[in-house]
Structure 1
């Protein structure tokens, strides 16, 4: 039997790109499937920034005073063959492309003050955006001269295969062709990506196009794209570059600032000689050489919610994926080493509560499985939030209790055939005790019952109602103890709706009275609820690391809950806690840190606070207590601090740390705005310097922003 591959302890070199065979979203995503139950909360930008803040933008580590200008091997294009003169197009081979991309990844980015607010998108007709960012400094509207990149464009626009790292389609940067008198008329212009109306500091979707205007552009095609089409596209892009330079303040600059290149080698040469540049091979398979945000978030999600035993023979985890097997400690393992579940209970929104006929049928099927163990039977149960107060019916409550009772019976007893089969698996000659007798199998031991997995897609939302109810029933504990014990003692991260809290509190006496562990003491049925329970909306703060939680202002203003979770420090970013005086006096002042004058407005810097915040978190860790990091909503300012700590502690790149925190924020989507995200990419440079490692960004800014926009798009469509 193959051995379990345990997930390694977090180390600076922890993360390797997931293997390509896992059945998780790839980079080609027309309509990517969002992780269920997540939503994008609204983040207020706060008041209009003061003039002082506009005049003193943030410093950028690791060189706070040095103004950085990005250099590139492709500019000036000396040494590259000029294959066309009008418009100018140069040739670049696979080796030079690889060298140029690698060189660019090793160059420090300009500081945020040099590229913002330009990256936010400042359209000449968008008075709201302009008034907010450049009320007195019209020069901020100009294109920065310090930044340049390399944009790779695939001709043919099919990104589902043969995709080079960071490659985009030409439709993402060029205006579409126009039809005039049945003839196509070339319009050699870049898209006007800046939004014409509205205010946003999260315009991730425009970054690829904005960066293309300040980039040398390399065009390539695959074996299905005629060479003529590649060349035609390159010429069109070259004309667009000339038109852009003419229409900007670069008009007075002699010569071309940016140029277009055509890849002279076939795509297969890049695939063979430079596999690290290939995101999707010619067959459309992920190579595992280039990080994919969707893929990595799914992997982190499955790792975080990997199956674990919450009661004898009752497990909780994500829906099993035959291609992605995770062990109880989050390690990748082979199918043979997965817990051998006898029954899967899937929780989802459309399921009905099972009745006695369903239980009887399943029992018959499970008895047959004792002989044919290759069949795993399934049961469905309504997901969290499906049984709504105050309209729930008595039949629904009866069904919930009956399900818990039936599960307990199956998990804690078994047929003679099942025991016989398991005994035969242990050894042909059963082991003997000190007296020479065979060991006796306890009827309450985990080997004597059937293993049941309660699961849902994400492993922590839809299954929470049934998991909490069963834990209350099996252990005869009230809902507030079940909540805490599942999180602290069983290590489960989960989210339940406020309606689940209300339901379980209402039916608590009945669940506990029916519990096999009920002692008959009436006080067990109606314990005095703690004061923090009334403030619960169903969500706990999100455990990002064992010593660091991420939450919102509501979590911060529930100090009794925080104490129960072992959280002894509060880091408030821009939003102070409002506690009663007596509560404030109970907390030592050194365990509270307030970072003032930081709004979610795309202007206020946060980099300057990283050192102080991370030192505060580390001090709590040394004292053996966890820290809650919060702002108002818990998705932008506080999430930025948490990402910075994950990068600092685990040595992850910004893209991987982003997905790490995003997966663990449970039901909400983290949303560090553009400037915070850029500052975190600069923080990655500082991390390399601190560790004495050469800088080599895993992904460039335009690619990161494009991936974030693609990940968030399904949720924004949901409303």
Structure 2
């Protein structure tokens, strides 16, 4: 039985460091960040591994080397000890050094790859693949120089500076003698998405600043700084570097001084509150998800959207705007008629003082071929109940008479229409079954029309399980026969379009009004694309397989098809050189008033990279924010451009700022970007 319950809106989970593989971070007592439900990481094949290197991407004539104002160390800093060498640095000098680093151009991709992929001496698969393309691939690039902040104690839930990491992310256990950096390159397997090792790899070629908070004893910071300095000496000797090429510093000012003078460097303050001054991937993904799925009216007085979340500042409307909030959840049962009557009486007694709550089964929970008549009856009763409460004037005008076995509500008792919000955490997954069924019932639409109009005309992005497609297709005759708006019956139902049987429940993801991101299956369903207003197709590394009959019937202009050839998802093939050509193709579609589908095979790496580049270009966003923008709008599939594509997008950000006559200044450094992506993906990893 479904009951009305009082419940609090889900607060945004606190941001906490989640250790990816090979990392062991202190996450304190607040646990790990909650993963957005229903997302998954698809298998992304590297494709054919070519025997010879691909053509090199366009590159600058001169090599780029990163400079730092912390080298030589004694120019602006004071030596604390000489065995091992450790220096002190003030908050002013640290802020200046971080700002200098953020304004330095990154080395070109060819200068740092494949080294950044992780090339362990015992990983024969990884070495064999990359060594056939470059001599001395394991040699540390001499163009890299970073600046790494390490917090003593490792608790990053409070007093966290921008980009700070814990010592156990880079150092072997304290018991190891002599101190040494972690061997972070993976020994086994082949991967071009080793984001989890980047913070450690960059720390080895960085000056390192150690700091503590008000709870840290100075002796702990001194001991940690000395361990790091000894690890640097060992790393230098192993790689043939000059002694003290990279150095260790201790912050001489307290964290409170940094917080007062340089609040833009503080990610989490001393009371464990996020300041909002530093871009946070977890927060921005949830913000963009809430913004993308903001509640909107799909039919008169019935809204669809995410669970109201006071922790995210966006256009999400609070629950007090509705009379009834219907949460779609796996734990719910289809409501019985008596439950609906009780809820209606409760709404009358409540007299709109506060929103009431109920639950309904989520998408994918009514499974074919085992669904029961009672489940379908309950779904129909739910649609009818909602419609009568949302449209009392229309029901009264229709002058329906209640039969002996009809349990319709008495219209004379209704004084005003009721507003409903169908909601779930992400605003689009669990709610799809009920939302589409109600949309069909209230608007008198067959399944295929409801599918397209919900997305195209109502502006809703949604995901549905294949079981939802099957269920709604099977029962659409009954829905339309009982609909107050439909004139269609079983005998005059329109034929099912060819495209409906070809979809797996998902539509291409609308990233911008004129740009969609999808997979090869979407691209090979051109009839669906036309229904959505998609007039151009950009294929990145994967060719279309349209039959001759389909080509002839569709008459799709060849100039509206573009192919980016010889780009596999292998960490070697570049995309940077194709950005301008792809974006011009997308812009042409925008100018024509249509939309472009950008696709590869799975729709998460190559095509996602192009979409991120366009979002950066169109909206002027930094890479971290553009990444979260696209990630949220890819709905249930997690985008995962590999390391090289991600690095190329950071270089693209540099180019964008240059083109807008803005000074170069990265919002986050490469090591931090990679670490955040690894942390975001960890909850979904198997």
TM-score scaled by length of structure 2: 0.92
Give the one of 204, 208, 213 matched to 2:204: 213
Structure 1 vs Structure 2 CA RMSD: 1.9
* In the alignment, structure 1 residue 664 sits paired with structure 2 residue 645: no
* In the alignment, structure 1 residue 222 sits paired with structure 2 residue 213: yes
Corresponding residue of 1:433:
none
Deviation at 1:79, TM superposition (A): 2.6
Corresponding residue of 1:234:
225
* In the alignment, structure 1 residue 569 sits paired with structure 2 residue 566: no
SS at match of 1:51: coil
- 1:30-429 alignment runs, 5 A limit: 30=27, 31-53=32-54, 56-60=55-59, 64-77=60-73, 78-135=75-132, 137-178=134-175, 186-250=177-241, 253=242, 255-324=243-312, 326=314, 331=315, 340-370=321-351, 373-413=352-392
Deviation at 1:387, TM superposition (A): 0.5
CA distance in 1, matches of 2:454, 2:593: 20
Deviation at 1:22, TM superposition (A): 7.7
Contact 2:477 2:489 in 1 (8 A): no
Give the one of 518, 542, 551 matched to 2:486: 518
Q: Which deviations, in whole Å up to 9, do the C-alpha atoms of 1:522-557 show, x marking residues without a partner?
A: 445x32011100101100000000000000000000
Corresponding residue of 1:686:
655
Corresponding residue of 1:487:
455
CA distance in 1, matches of 2:438, 2:313: 25
Contact 1:164 1:280 in 2 (8 A): yes
CA distance in 2, matches of 1:472, 1:198: 49
Contact 1:106 1:695 in 2 (8 A): yes
When structure 1 is superposed on structure 2, of 549-558 and 446-455 the one drifting more is 446-455
Corresponding residue of 1:438:
none
When structure 1 is superposed on structure 2, of 65-74 and 208-217 the one drifting more is 65-74
Aligned length: 646
Give the one of 620, 645, 648 matched to 2:617: 648
SS at match of 2:77: coil
Report the CA distance shift for 1:520/1:637 in structure 2 as closer, same or farther (over 3 A): closer
Q: Which deviations, in whole Å up to 9, do the C-alpha atoms of 1:9-43 show, x marking residues without a partner?
A: xxxxxxxxxxxx98344244442211111000011
CA distance in 2, matches of 1:23, 1:541: 28
Contact 2:480 2:489 in 1 (8 A): no
Deviation at 1:521, TM superposition (A): 4.8
SS at match of 2:136: helix
Contact 1:49 1:603 in 2 (8 A): no
Deviation at 1:332, TM superposition (A): 6.3
SS at match of 1:347: strand
When structure 1 is superposed on structure 2, of 607-616 and 349-358 the one drifting more is 349-358
CA distance in 1, matches of 2:122, 2:566: 30
CA distance in 2, matches of 1:565, 1:136: 43
CA distance in 1, matches of 2:630, 2:133: 37
CA distance in 1, matches of 2:132, 2:62: 26
Q: Which deviations, in whole Å up to 9, do the C-alpha atoms of 1:571-618 show, x marking residues without a partner?
A: 000001111224335111110000000000000000000010000000
Deviation at 1:59, TM superposition (A): 3.2
SS at match of 2:340: helix
Deviation at 1:518, TM superposition (A): 2.8
Displaced runs of 4+ in structure 1, greater than 6 A?
none
Contact 1:142 1:249 in 2 (8 A): no
Q: Which deviations, in whole Å up to 9, do the C-alpha atoms of 1:279-320 show, x marking residues without a partner?
A: 000001011100100000000000000000000000000011
Contact 1:495 1:539 in 2 (8 A): yes
Q: Which deviations, in whole Å up to 9, do the C-alpha atoms of 1:394-416 show, x marking residues without a partner?
A: 11111111111111111112899
SS at match of 2:448: helix
Corresponding residue of 2:12:
23
CA distance in 2, matches of 1:588, 1:542: 23
CA distance in 2, matches of 1:325, 1:142: 46
